[in-house]
Homo-oligomer: A and B are copies of this chain.
């Protein structure tokens, strides 16, 4: 989330506003081995990375007992106003810990590229942050670098295979893997490689994606063991032969070296919140072309260590929660017991038609109109057999009447709801107590999570089900190319894979301008990308950017070190 979105409390309080970095630095961290001990992690399962970060060797944990309940934090359809989902996740966990529950957080690792581009990280904000935030937002324990290396080793092996005689007959025009870099670098989107003559390679069109868009990242986050990781890496389709037969990483003999390069990265990272709640921050695939949540291994590990695990999925519940249940929870034992839907008065106003620059003016009628977006997500969550809890993330400009309206409408829709003020006061204060109570009440009678569709349905029918049941569209249209890929998916035996929709997060439809709760629209599937290693088919609607660019004034240009070698300008 951005500082702009998360800091409006400042205006209301009248106190000088501290930046996220200043708040983080003022916090007193406990040595990470103390945090580990309090979470029941034995010392010999801990690999320290400095004083406040550690990796967990899951094989050295005590044998699993009863597993903790998973609380999935999702949201209404996001708006440029910001919802503060990561902040809420951290604050809720702190509040649950305050209520006496053994609680653990499972969160995604931030990607360096966007941090250097626009101001903003992914470690929460205000008084609800995971620490040390500078480290987590920069190289952390090197996981993304290892994923980058594994991905790029695969690509180098593919091009080298083609160069060295191409025994497998890979069509250079049909290589399916792209190199990655954890950087916002638009110049690398479309490139030609292998130039310079016969000694330098075979020229072909390709490009770089950002690391979080790599299939290796998705594999990393869905694998439940090292053996599973290696298997999935081997199943990655690297391209097609001249006869259009798929070639896998295993065919190239590349699965072993990739697993080797990911050996340490695959161990979950332990850190802490400002309030001292243990947090596993591990993995971070894109929420559009991948499933958008932290590693399955981290969530499963947290379930072994805590009674309640608070975790987050990307974007709104139509994307993040759906993928969590239809993809991640099929491959790993992480089914949620409850879903929290984060909403804000500001975002509901936008769904009710208010432009972004007029959000500070009180407008209860707009809140009421925009509530239809929240209702739609509530209905959708119930389709997965789960009962949502609405978390109304309080901002300084919200009026009492606006806040009360959301609570009243929620109650009349028969859904639990609570106001949370965890940004301004932190989960260690009472700002999240009411939300924690509602969540605990929901966990008393947990739902029975079920996927939306059976895997036996073909890819086309899975997409149709999603569009009908979750998005409420009237039809699906396929491009010529997508139709051809559908046929290829059937021929190659991939029709039983779940679907990963790459759709705008701003609307239930594939048109980002259609806010609220639209109906009757057509969803356009432009391309289908088989991700046979991760184990899903990406359905691309609209234009999806897999390599972001830098803005005119990149945040990077304000970043520096001060006289004492400390980071400045990061947030």
Contact = CB atoms under 8 A, between A and B. Distances in A.
Interface in A218-264: 226, 230, 252-257, 259-261, 263-264
A192 interface: yes
B156 A145 contact: no
Nearest to A547: B200
A135 B149 CA distance: 15
Nearest to A189: B200
A520 interface: no
Contacts of A118: none
Contact of A254 (B195, B259, B557): B557
A543 to B, nearest CB: 10
A557 B156 CA distance: 12
B149 A112 contact: yes
Contact of A556 (B48, B153, B181, B202): B153
A191 interface: yes
A153 B181 CA distance: 10
A555 B112 CA distance: 30
Contacts of A165: 552
A112 B258 CA distance: 13
A190 B549 CA distance: 22
Nearest to A112: B149
Contacts of A146: 139
Contact of A189 (B196, B252, B560): B196
A256 B560 contact: yes
A201 interface: yes
A264 B183 CA distance: 19
A284 to B, nearest CB: 16
A263 B226 contact: no
Contacts of A148: 145
Contact of A157 (B202, B256, B554, B569): B554
A195 B558 CA distance: 29
A260 B187 contact: no
Interface size class of A (residues with CB under 8 A): 35 or more
A159 B51 CA distance: 38
A186 interface: yes
A149 B146 CA distance: 13
A567 B195 contact: no
Given A48-B48, A145-B142, A191 B189 contact: no
Interface-central residue, A156, A182, A261, by most chain B CB under 10 Å? A156
Contacts of A59: 565
Given A559-B260, A560-B256, A560-B260, A149 B183 contact: yes
Given A139-B142, A139-B145, A153 B183 contact: yes
A59 B550 CA distance: 35
Given A187-B201, A189-B201, A263-B567, A182 B256 contact: no
A188 interface: yes
B556 A157 contact: yes
Interface in A515-571: 549-550, 552, 554, 556-561, 565, 567-570
A100 interface: no
Q: Which 4 A-B pairs have the closest CB atoms?
A: A256-B560, A190-B196, A145-B145, A187-B201
10 contacts: A48-B48, A50-B55, A59-B565, A116-B257, A139-B142, A139-B145, A149-B183, A192-B192, A252-B557, A256-B560
Interface of A: 47-51, 55, 59, 112, 116, 135, 138-139, 141-142, 145-146, 148-149, 152-153, 155-157, 159-160, 163-165, 179, 181-196, 200-202, 205, 226, 230, 252-257, 259-261, 263-265, 549-550, 552, 554, 556-561, 565, 567-570
